[in-house]
Amino acid sequence: MNHSNLRAQTRALAAGALLGLATLPAMAADTATETELRELIRLQAEQLRQQSEQLQALNQRLSAIEGGAQAVAASPAAPATTPGAPAADPVQAQVDAAVADTRQDDLAILQAQVAQLAAGGGSGGGNTSWRRGGPEFRNSDRSFTFNPRGRVLMDFSSTRGSSFDDRNITGTNMRQVRLGAQGNIGQLGYKVDAEFANNDVSISDAYLRWNTTLGAIPTEFYFGNKLKDRAIDSSTTLTRTPFMERNAVASVGMPASGYFGLGAQMKMIGQNWHTTFGITGDDVGNSGDNSDSLTYSFRGHVNPIKRPAGFLHVGGWYVHEEYGADTNRINRTPRIASRFNDNVRVSASAINEVTGERVWGTELGGTWRNFWGFWEHSETTLKSDDVGDVKQKATSAYAGWLLTGERPGFSARSGVWGTTRVARPVTDGGIGAWELAVRYDDYDFTDARRGGEGDAWTLGVNWYLNNWSRVMLNYVHWTTDNQVGAYQGRDTGNSINLRTQIVF
């Protein structure tokens, strides 16, 4: 056999071993769990063992042909030190040393990666994030993400002081239970949420989102069932509002088709402003035996002052809604004390033969360091073939103070409430974030012949355990003056409401 061929085979085999070892870091970077890394180490070690045996066999054959020299020692890196032994092949010695050094270095790298994975809870080398309270799976460039979603909101409520015994009730309420998912595939995003309430399942958010630019302006298109962008609290998911229930402007200015609408929306976001246009029908639960209501909506805001310490928010919105054939009577009776207590409401009196409505609203407020404050007003004009135009008004003013120094979780970019970032989470041994908040709500339905009115003062204490869970305590002193229904005349009372929530 040609000695040069044997040496070539030996070197080729050693080169193969080196290439196999060189792939370890790249393969380790793509692995997602500690278990997979350990399996990768085991497989590479087995491959090295097999290649080492082949190297030894080739060396033995080469040595026998060249004069019956002793075979290469079992350890490829061990030099021949026995006196009188034949000198080692310099080329083979270099190959053996390279194999040994590369194996040692790459195994050390893999062991360090495994240790890092174990310390990080198996985060998959950065392919999984837990910063939102639940897992977000993603690829290396985040062009694909998948985030399971869920929320549980449980309330306790007790009302006392009313002149009507039926209003003085105590109980618990599972305010919201939702499961869903959101994520993106390139520029295409999606979100689906199913809500479990009253032993039934309904769809809340269910839409596709397309991220693009118009000119140089970031623009988002939404297609599906989505929360309408209308007023501050109305446009904010309930788990982010600073009080347990949305304010008077949100409930009185709500279109007859509800908070959600099935259709299309476009949002444009600038450096200090945003604007949204929407065309929607009824929400996804419409029966389908009549034409939908058709709603055109617009909202925009600007930050004339925007500094690192805070900003000024000025906004406005408008909604025009043409009712479907299944909506010809409007009787708004918003709850004023809590979601649980159905008996404490303000009655607007029923308006018959309605064909549509138009609603406008204004927003003013802002944040400064760990303080925030906002004022909102809305006016709804119902168009009725029976009594003509009827106006319904609402005003809300509210402010808060984060005692532990965190910044308010209000988005200057979109003009809605977002996540309050907790500086010292309870789950890390801290005290969480503590917030005091106060709100005044006014409900005015007196433009109708027998329309009522009411107001409420709410004092709130929020304890944010971390970025995705909080405990809320609301004390509400309310007044109603209804002209129709079971609870007519002026009445006052006090309600204590407690909520625990977790959102991921």
Query: pLDDT tens digits, residue range 47-61?
Result: 666 666 766 665 666
Q: What confidence tens digit (pLDDT) does each residue in 424-475 have? A: 999 999 999 999 999 999 999 999 999 999 999 999 999 999 999 999 999 9
Q: What pLDDT sits at residue 122?
A: 44
Q: What confidence tens digit (pLDDT) does each residue in 368-384 have? A: 999 999 999 999 999 99
What percent of the chain shows pLDDT beyond 70?
74
103 SS3 class? helix
As a whole number, mean pLDDT of residues 334-362 equals: 96
| Residues contacting residue 12 through CB under 8 Å, at least 6 positions apart | none
| 381 contacts 358 by C-beta, under 8 angstroms | yes
- Output the CA angle 270-206-470, nearest 5 degrees: 75
| Residues contacting residue 358 through CB under 8 Å, at least 6 positions apart | 318, 319, 320, 321, 380, 381, 383
As a whole number, mean pLDDT of residues 289-296 equals: 87
The better pLDDT of the pair 142, 341 is held by 341
HSE on the CB side for 436, CA within 13 Å?
3
Q: What's 148-503's CATH class?
A: mainly beta
The better pLDDT of the pair 116, 156 is held by 156
Q: What pLDDT sits at residue 111?
A: 56
Handedness of CA 341, 359, 270, 214 (dihedral sign): positive
What is the pLDDT confidence band of residue 90, given thresholds at 50, 70 and 90? low
Top mean-pLDDT range of 117-126, 194-203, 237-246, 288-297: 237-246
For the chain, the structural domain boundaries read 3-119, 148-503
Mean of the per-residue pLDDT values for the chain? 84
Q: What pLDDT sits at residue 327?
A: 87
As a whole number, mean pLDDT of residues 214-232 equals: 96
| 393 contacts 438 by C-beta, under 8 angstroms | no
Q: What pLDDT sits at residue 99?
A: 56
User: pTM for the complete prediction?
Assistant: 0.75
Q: What pLDDT sits at residue 226?
A: 95
Q: What pLDDT sits at residue 96?
A: 66
Q: What pLDDT sits at residue 28?
A: 40
Q: What confidence tens digit (pLDDT) does each residue in 205-217 have? A: 999 999 999 999 9
Nearest to 480 by CA among 322, 304, 291, 346: 346
**Residue 85 DSSP code:** P
